[in-house]
Structure 1
Amino acid sequence: MTVTDLVELDKKRCKVYLDGEFAFVLYKGELRDHGIKQNAEVDDESYRAITEELLPKRATKRAMNLLQKKDYTEKKLRDKLAEGMYSDECIDAAIEYVKSYRYLDDERFARDYIVYHMEMRSKNRIVHDLMDKGISKELTERLMLEIYEDEADVDVEQEQIKKLLVKKHYDKDMEFKDKQKIIAFLLRRGYSMDSVRRALDE
């Protein structure tokens, strides 16, 4: 393989192209260590050392650093690592490592998210939010059945809607167009028309 191009990514890193195709990103010190320079040949041993040792370790370290700062779903962590231009193989290795120590756990993430937001957001909004983060609808709905069952004595969504109606100064005698604005606001929040009507009737 021949180094056909080196493109500076920033002051510390370069994109390396081998045989005309993007291969990986290396720090400038690593370029020197592995003899990567314009038009130079890269032997199999150096290529394996970079792609099977150096970069997977770096991707794993990056994943660990990200998870120390906040929780991620697997999808969002994969997206974040992909931004660093790691190969799919490096990303898979990093994900496998952090999952093996349960630093990454989609079920735990979803459970915590539901518990934290259930008093403020509609069920539909929570399902939509978690799907955007890469959590399956099936897992979300299973966890919601379990978590909301613990709150069976209280209709969480009805309580939320009533609080929002107070906040919006809802009055049964207000003009029709003002009522419609409030209803539209609640529907945008993810509440069903049936839930909104029930709250309005009460």
Structure 2
Amino acid sequence: MRRPKRRKPRDINDDAEAAKPKRPVDPERARARTLQRAVKLLAAKPRSIAELRERLLEKEWADEAAVDAALAKLKEYGYLDDERFAFGYASYRVKQRPVGRQRLARDLQMKKVDRATSEQALELVFQETPETELIDRAIEKRIRLRGRPTTRQEVKSLFDHLLRLGFSYDLIMDKVRAASVTDTEAE
């Protein structure tokens, strides 16, 4: 015979705390705490303005006015700049691992960078390092790890891998065709 699961006894104070009204927060103290939290979050890693705003509003003591004041102060100090953040993030990602324009655009969108700013950053990054150079590096690395694709299944696997990295369909087709032509010429 199975024994019923034991339930955790409810604490009487749980209901009392939920019903207790929240203590009003001093606006000056809320601004100071919000600014302190913003600096702490930026020290951990660079963030976009919208991303930082979202993180700051998570706390119950932070209100819109305190967050706006903290963001304005950080912009004034030069700690917050979406253009600089987008360019730095995109160039870091490209140097770290070859990725395509579509993947970087999606990643910047997830970081809550507006479309115009991300497009501008992507233009600058891909002027420094062309996308054709990046896809060549990605193909070389894949071939180094798995060998040259010989079967149709392996070619499809390479193709899918490059699509996941964010390269455009046309660019992938050109590079995969060029790689298969050089394979047949080598034999």
- TM bucket by the smaller chain? 0.7 to 0.9
* 2:117 aligned partner: 139
Equivalent residue runs for 1:27-176 within 5 Å:
50-85=25-60, 86-119=62-95, 120=97, 121-151=99-129, 155-171=132-148, 174-176=150-152
Q: Which amino acid aligns with 1:142?
A: Q
- Structure 1 residues 103 and 6, CA, compared in 2 at 3 Å: closer, same or farther? farther
Deviations 1:8-37 (A, max 9, x none): 7xxxxxx973xxxxx6xxxxxxxxxxxx5x
State the shift of 1:74 in Å: 0.9
Q: Which has the higher contact order (CA 8 A, sep 6+)?
A: 2
Give the structure with the higher percent helix: 2
d(CA) in 1 for partners of 2:101 and 2:134?
8
Give the secondary-structure state (helix, strand or coil) at the position aligned to 1:104. coil
Runs of 4+ off more than 4 Å: none
Gaps of 5+ in 1: 9-14, 18-22, 24-35, 37-46
Give the alignment's Cα RMSD to 1 decimal: 2.6
Identity %: 24
Equivalent residue runs for 1:15-26 within 5 Å:
17=21
Give the secondary-structure state (helix, strand or coil) at the position aligned to 2:57. helix
d(CA) in 2 for partners of 1:193 and 1:167?
22
d(CA) in 2 for partners of 1:99 and 1:16?
38
Contact 1:161 1:196 in 2 (8 A): no
Give the structure with the higher percent strand: 1
Gaps of 5+ in 2: 1-14, 179-187
Q: Which amino acid aligns with 1:58?
A: R
d(CA) in 1 for partners of 2:114 and 2:147?
36
* 2:7 aligned partner: none
Report the count of equivalent residues. 161
d(CA) in 2 for partners of 1:107 and 1:159?
28
Q: Which amino acid aligns with 1:129?
A: D
State the shift of 1:188 in Å: 1.8
Contact 2:159 2:172 in 1 (8 A): yes
Contact 1:170 1:179 in 2 (8 A): no
Contact 2:49 2:81 in 1 (8 A): yes
* 1:11 aligned partner: none
- Structure 1 residues 168 and 192, CA, compared in 2 at 3 Å: closer, same or farther? farther
